[in-house]
Amino acid sequence: MILPIEDTPLHRLPNLARHLGVDADQLWVKREDLTGLAGGGNKARKLAAIVAHAVAQGCDHLVTGGGAQSNHARMTAAAANIAGLDCDLVLTPGRPGDESGNFLLDRILGAHIHRLEAAAMPYHELEAAIQARAGRLAEQGRRPYAIPIGGSSALGAATYIPVARELRQRLDPDLVVVAAGSGGTHAGLVAGFGDHGKVLGVDVGARPGLSAAVEELAAQAASHAGLPRPAGRCQMDTAQVGAGYGAPTDAALVALRVAARTDALLLDPVYTAKAMAGLFAVVRASPGMRVVFLHTGGLPGLFASRYAGWLTSSPPASSADGSGTAAGPS
């Protein structure tokens, strides 16, 4: 294996469970934020498989893309360095002066960065821009490997099959809650459980037609691993998106603060805070379930300058603290 992946911890969140009014044994976190690879996150497993494939094909260049604060782009740049490959990143522009967080790390890691002009580019146009960049490199005599947004090929998604198996063996949870951007992590977990009913994605607003994409990717990942097509239909919480991808919401800010102030679990503004807000809603609605929060990482996004004002703002007026009963943590 060119990129070594650490085993990640699985542990209870006892203070958060108490805060939400459930038993400590009912709330767990799988720490996919602690995978290693330049800050960690759910892209590490996907990239381990993708980079091995790229190297086996004789490629010398990784090409991918995303938003200016893409965790996937940052981790692809890191993976390329470890594997001795070049890396081109096609990124949408951040706000003026927004050279912080993941974008700063992309620069430190030495990726070749191509900023797009459109501030927000539709998902499929960004995919096309990644392909176009790879095409230009090929014309120059390079051997590029184009990685889809989020590393969500069937190969990438399938790397979450063993994680689902581990969770089933160790805990047999009723539900895993995960942030869904390109949908690959969600899909791989579903393929591993063989059942859509075991995984709730929380849509962060990155990809149009996300539920259909998850169903398609879950079937492809299962087939890639020689498993049957998963049962059931995709489960997706679409209520946490707010004004769109990367847009702050009150519920995400509450979830981010509560997780930090109970079990010192740090979440990111774009993905995991919205996923935790989705988990709060599920636990409130079905308090009897054993739930695992799959922490997908994203910590550098917390240090993106664009979020500093929001993160330090007064608590939302609605002040829902996630518990429905207990006072919010101070």
Ligand X SMILES: Cc1ncc(COP(=O)(O)O)c(C=O)c1O
- For residues 193 and 180, is the Cβ–Cβ distance under 8 A? no
Marked catalytic residue, from 70, 100, 182, 323: 70
Assign 3-class secondary structure to the chain.
CCCCCCCCCEEECHHHHHHHCCCHHHEEEEEHHHCCCCCCECHHHHHHHHHHHHHHCCCCEEEEEECCCCHHHHHHHHHHHHHCCEEEEEECCCCCCCCCHHHHHHHHHCCEEEECCCCCCCHHHHHHHHHHHHHHHHHCCCCEEECCHHHCCHHHHHHHHHHHHHHHHHCCCCEEEEEECCCHHHHHHHHHHCEHHHEEEEECCCCCCHHHHHHHHHHHHHHHCCCCCCECCCEEECCCCCCCCCCCCHHHHHHHHHHHHHHCCCCCCCCHHHHHHHHHHHHHHCCCCCEEEEECECHHHHHCHHHHHHHCCCCCCCCCCCCCCCCCCC
Interface of this chain with ligand X, residues 191 to 250, rule: CB under 6 A: none
185 near ligand X, judged by CB under 6 A: yes
Least distance between ligand X and beta carbon 69 (Å): 9
* 184 touching ligand X, by CB under 6 A: yes
Task: For ligand X, give the closer residue by CB, 22 or 299.
Answer: 299
State the nearest-atom distance from the C-beta of 143 to ligand X, in Å: 26
Rule CB under 6 A: say whether 152 interacts with ligand X: yes
CB closer to ligand X out of 26 and 46:
46
Is residue 271 at the binding interface for ligand X, with CB under 6 A as the rule?
A: yes
Is 318 known to be catalytic? no
Number of amino acids touching ligand X (CB under 6 A)? 20
| Residues 6+ positions from 314 with CB-CB distance below 8 Å | none
Residue of 127, 263, 268, 321 that binds ligand X (CB under 6 A) = 268
Residue 210 Cβ vs ligand X, minimum distance, rounded to whole Å: 8
Q: Using CB under 6 A, which of 39, 101, 148, 150 touches ligand X? A: 150
144 binds ligand X (CB under 6 A): no
Binders of ligand X among residues 5 to 64 (CB under 6 A) are 41-42
Q: Which is nearer to ligand X, 181 or 321 (CB)?
A: 181
Which residue type, as a one-letter code, is found at position 8? Answer: T
Is the Cβ–Cβ distance between 196 and 230 less than 8 Å? yes
Q: Does 265 bind ligand X (CB under 6 A)?
A: no
Q: Min. distance of Cβ 87 from ligand X in angstroms?
A: 16
Residue nearer to ligand X on the CB measure, 13 or 147: 147
Q: Which stretch binds ligand X (CB under 6 A): 88-96, 168-176, 238-246, 290-298?
A: 290-298
- Piece in contact with ligand X (CB under 6 A), picked from 115-123, 138-146, 173-181, 230-238: 173-181
Of 153 and 323, nearer to ligand X (C-beta) is 153
Task: Give dist(CA 51, CA 57) in Å, integer.
Answer: 10
72 binds ligand X (CB under 6 A): yes
Contact yes or no for 272/179 (Cβ under 8 A)? yes
Closer residue to ligand X, CB minimum distance, 183 or 322: 183
Q: With CB under 6 A as the contact rule, which of the stretches 54-62, 233-241, 277-285, 295-303 interacts with ligand X?
A: 295-303
Nearer to ligand X, 45 or 321 (CB): 45
In whole angstroms, what is the distance from residue 54 CA to residue 290 CA?
39
Q: What are 262's two structure tokens?
A: 């109970």
181 contributes a contact to ligand X by CB under 6 A: yes
Which amino acids are annotated catalytic? 70
Which residues of this chain interact with ligand X, rule CB under 6 A?
Answer: 41-42, 71-72, 150, 152, 179-186, 268, 271-272, 296-298
